[in-house]
Amino acid sequence: MVIAAPSSGSGKTTVATGLMAALRARGTRVSPHKVGPDYIDPGYHALATGRPGRNLDPWLVGEERIVPLFLHGAAGCDLAVVEGVMGLFDGKGDTGFASTAHVARLLDAPVVLVVDAARQSTSVAAVVHGFATFDPRVRVAGVVLNQIGSDRHEDLCRSALARTGVPVLGAIRRDDAVFTPSRHLGLVPAAERHADAVAAVGRLGDLIARSCDLPALMRLARTAPPLHGHPWEPGGELAERTAGRPVVAVAGGAAFTFGYAEHVELLRAAGAEVAVFDPLRDESLPEGTGGLVVGGGFPEVHAERLAANVRLMEQVAAFPGPIAAECGGLLYLCRSLDGVPMCGRLPATAAMTPRLALGYRDAVAGRASLLTREGEAYRGHEFHRTRVTAAGEPLLRWDGGGDGFGDALLTATYLHLHWAGAPVLAQRLVSSSRSPSLLR
């Protein structure tokens, strides 16, 4: 089933994550998914289910891969919960492409609409009626009322919704104890507050268990018809597999939490041995590292601790093998971040700004680099509040902007790419990786 809402801030993450946790506590094997490019919510989904949180984004990977990626992630599970993004019909531009509704149609899945009822009662029926009838291809099959203030408030909402024919599957009371801290780019990632996050997910599970009709929700999920297609295979779109099992080190830990599960799967399918390291704690790269991936995250929050790990930064700066960096990884490779020394691998400085750069991008490579080839197009996503100052032409350009650095052994850009949409990127990285003896 798909958990959607009329708008952001209605309680989708509360309901989706709590539902995952509540069902898992009852012995259900739950497959967690998130519509869109978001990295943070899937971290909480993973805690709730014990499985990797996976994204479903038609813009990043193509419509044709949504069902295969879904089937790949849901293998061996009893039920899948898909958390939506923004409002149900909000996607790229005014077309609704890559919206929650778009993904629900591709999966032919029933939609549960989470409605914030805090400042309304009878009007919730008009909201639900509008969403249920706006697109007949989308089946809004249930409602969960959020922020209910009293028994009387709940009765008014339920009575009004009875006229719509859309059943109420839950009513959640206001609960100040259920709180997840936020900052400049949304929720604080689960990896940065693991013990607190585990406790928070447990509280969400308890909240949903006592507020929602779990048997009715499970029955609703079973109304989704069988999907036609085959599960995605990480090696299915790779032209070749690199021999020799080069070690590709992937940055992780609290500072670098942004990454799609399929990236590591593709690296392994391309022939790499993947070793995860934590730039906040590990003083050297994993033994035998022949390639390096530094994805996104929050290095700006952890800049002082990253800078204190001088030995590792010196290794990264002098690393002679291929490096792929995105967003937070780009910042880590700069000379400095808000005046704090970073690796210095790039001739650039980075700083926080009040401006949020957010949105899908149609990018074209102006020249070749480790991952890119001149003239190739890439669909990506930009999400940051920093600015990198550097001279020279950017590696990638898109309408209204561009950025990036690149050479034969480097691609570093703000743009987040989903490698399942372009598996050749993993292949290029692994085929450029070598054993340490060949890198000297």
How do the domains of the chain map onto residue ranges? 2-221, 247-439
pLDDT of 435 reads 52
Hey, what are 243's tokens? 């021999």
Q: How many residues does the chain have?
A: 440
- The reported pLDDT for the residue numbered 197 is 85
Q: Which residues have a catalytic role annotated? A: 327
State mean pLDDT over 165-173. 97
pLDDT at 186 (0 to 100): 56
pLDDT in tens, 229-241: 999 999 998 988 8
User: What mean pLDDT do residues 371-376 have?
Assistant: 97
Confidence check: pLDDT of 105 > 90: yes
Strand, helix or coil at 36?
A: coil
**195-202 long-range CB contacts below 8 Å, 24 or more apart?**
197/43, 197/44, 197/47, 198/47, 200/44, 201/17, 201/18, 201/21, 201/44, 201/47, 201/48, 202/21
How do strand 111-116 and strand 140-148 relate by DSSP bridges? Answer: parallel
Whether pLDDT at 180 is above 70: no
pLDDT for the residue numbered 351: 96
pLDDT of residue 368: 97
CATH number of 247-439: 3.40.50.880
Question: How large is the angle between the packed helices 12-25 and 214-221, nearest 10 degrees?
Answer: 100
Q: Do domains 2-221 and 247-439 have the same CATH topology?
A: yes
Tell me which CATH code domain 2-221 carries: 3.40.50.300
Q: What is the pLDDT of residues 254-267, one digit of tens each?
A: 999 999 999 999 99
Q: How far is CA 333 from the centre of its chain?
A: 22
Q: What is the mean pLDDT of the chain?
A: 94
Given a cut of 50, whether residue 183 has pLDDT beyond it is no
Pairing of strands 340-341, 377-389: unpaired
Which residues neighbour 236 within 8 Å (Cβ) at sequence distance 6 or greater? none
pLDDT of residue 189: 74
The reported pTM is 0.94
pLDDT at 437: 42
Which helix (H) or strand (E) covers residue 92, if one does? none
CB-neighbour burial class of residue 266 (10 A; exposed 0-12, middle 13-18, buried 19+) = buried
